[in-house]
A = this chain, B = another copy of it.
Amino acid sequence: MSPDGLAVQTAAPAGQRVTRRSRRAVDVPVLVERAREGDARSVARLISLVEDASPALREVAEALAPHTGQAQVLGLTGSPGVGKSTTTTALVRALRATGKRVGVLAVDPSSPFSGGALLGDRVRMQDHAGDSGVYIRSMASRGHLGGLSWSTPQAMRVLDAAGCDVVLVETVGVGQSELEIASLADTTLVLVAPGMGDGIQAAKAGILEVADLFVVNKADRDGADTTVRDLRYMLSLGGRHSEAGHWRPPIVKTVASRGTDNGIDRVLEAVEAHREWLESSGEGRRRRGERAAREIEAIALAALRERMGDVHGSAALGALAGKVVAGESDPYRAADELLDQL
C-alpha cells in the first residue's frame, strides 16, 4: 500500500519503450479489449497512442466509441497550494470505498516539467499495485496559453471505455484552464483555501460561473468561515442560486490532509446531488452534446490546418505569392484561390 493507504495502478507513459513500440503495428482491437478487462498496461498504451497523435489515433477513437459515454467526469481545479492533489487522493479513496472504478488525469498546464515531476510521485504508487480499480495518468499540456492538452478529451475516452465509473480531471487553476475544464466535465469542483483571496480571484476569473461545487479546503484554518461567506455573497450577486431551475453551487468545507478525509463524503454527496440534477434538468445531456461538438470542431480545425500545412512551400502557394508581390493580385484573392485548390 502507498503511504496514504491507497493502492493504485499507474497508467503512466512508458517513455522510450512506447516510442519504440509505436513504430510497430498496433493491434488496436486487442488493446481495447484488454483495457476493458482492466489491464493497466493496455490503458497506458492507448492513452499514449492518443497523446502522441499516432497514426493509429483514428482507429483507436473508432474502437473506443461503442464503449464510451458511461463515465461521470469530474473536473477539479484551483490555485496552486489549495490542496488539489491531496483532495484528489482523498476523493479516489472514498470512491474506491464505494466500489467505483476511478481514472485520474492530472493536467498541469503551467509547466510541462512539473507535469513530469508530479508523474514521478505517482509512479512510486505503482510499486504497491494490486487495486485494478484506479488508473492515474499525468498529462503534459500542449495547448495554447496554458490550456488543457488537446488530447485530454481522448484520454478521457480511453478511461471511459476501460470501464471507469468516474474520471477525475485535475488541473492547476490558471486562467483559461478553469474555463476549459468546465467545458469537459459533467461536474466542476473549484477548490479554494482560506486567506488566499481566492474568492475574489474566483470572481475575477469567471470561476463563479463555471463552478458546480465549491470546496473550501484547509477548513481548519483561520478565515474558513469568512471565505465561505465571501463565496456565498458573491454567488448571490451573480443571482445564480435564486433562479428556479438553476443549480445552486454548494460550498463544502474539507480538511483533506493525508489520513484525514474530513468532509470528503459531503463533497461526494454534493457531486451525487449535482449528477441527479444534471439528469433531471436535461443539462447533463446538453453538456455532453456541447462537449462532443467542441471536440469535433477542434479536430476539424486541426485537420484543416494540416491541409494548409501541406500547401506551405508548395508551388501553388509560391505562384500565388509571386502574383501578390508583383501587384497582380491581392492577398485575399490569392487566399481564395488557395482554398479552392484544397
- Which A positions have Cβ atoms within 8 angstroms of B? 57-58, 61-62, 64-69, 144-145, 153-154, 285, 288-290, 292-293, 295-297, 299-301, 303-305, 308, 311-312, 317-318, 320-322, 324-336, 338-339
Contacts and interface: CB of A to CB of B under 8 A. Distances in A.
Contact of A317 (B62, B296, B305, B322): B296
The 5 A-B pairs of least Cβ separation, nearest first, read: A299-B335, A292-B321, A293-B321, A61-B330, A292-B324
| Chain A interface, >50% SS class | helix
A327 B66 contact: yes
23 contacts: A58-B332, A61-B331, A62-B332, A62-B333, A65-B329, A68-B327, A144-B144, A144-B145, A285-B325, A289-B322, A292-B321, A293-B318, A293-B321, A296-B317, A296-B320, A297-B335, A297-B338, A299-B331, A300-B338, A300-B339, A301-B308, A303-B336, A304-B304
A252 to B, nearest CB: 29
Contacts of A67: 327
B62 A330 contact: yes
A338 B303 CA distance: 11
A335 B305 CA distance: 13
A325 B65 contact: no
A26 B198 CA distance: 50
A274 to B, nearest CB: 19
Contacts of A64: 330
Tell me which of A68, A69, A311, A335 has the highest count of chain B C-beta atoms within 10 A of its own C-beta: A335
